[in-house]
Structure 1
Amino acid sequence: MNTITLHIPGISCHHCIHTINTELADMEGVKSVEASLDSKLVTVTFEPPASEDRIRDLLVEINYPAEA
């Protein structure tokens, strides 16, 4: 099991959090998603076939890119 924490500067409201949580939770292999409006951080716990690259790609696709 892997865990990553990503900074997503585009998080500005609870709708952002809901969208990120819903989209990432639907990805095969993602076990948990915790997003914070205050810190703009998203912590994702996952296993294959999910990967950090696939998670980052999905965030870009839904217009919430993580900082490099």
Structure 2
Amino acid sequence: MSEIEFYVPAMHCAHCIHTIKMELHELNGVRAVEADLSSKKVRVQYEAPATPESIEKLLVEINYPPQKA
């Protein structure tokens, strides 16, 4: 299993965290999602077929464009 962390500056509240977690968990291969509002970081544990690129693409699609942490 792999892990990647993103800095998501558009994350501002508990609803943002909920949305990010719900959407990422629907991506095949994503095993765990942790989000920290104070640091605006999202940590994702994943395995194939999920990739860092597919995770980042989904975050952009749901209007939470990330920057790699």
* TM-score, reference length from structure 2: 0.96
Q: Distance in 2 between matches of 1:26 and 1:57?
A: 13
**Distance apart, 1:67 and its partner CA:** 1.4
Deviations 1:27-67 (A, max 9, x none): 10000000011110000000010000000000000000001
Query: Structure 1 unaligned runs (5+)?
Result: none
**Equivalent residue pairs, number:** 68
Q: Deviation above 6 Å: which 4+ runs of structure 1?
A: none
State how 1:1-40 maps to structure 2 within 5 Å.
1-40=1-40
Q: What CA distance in whole angstroms lies between the structure 1 residues aligned with 2:15 and 2:59?
A: 15
Matched with 1:51 is 51
TM-score of the pair, normalised by structure 1: 0.97
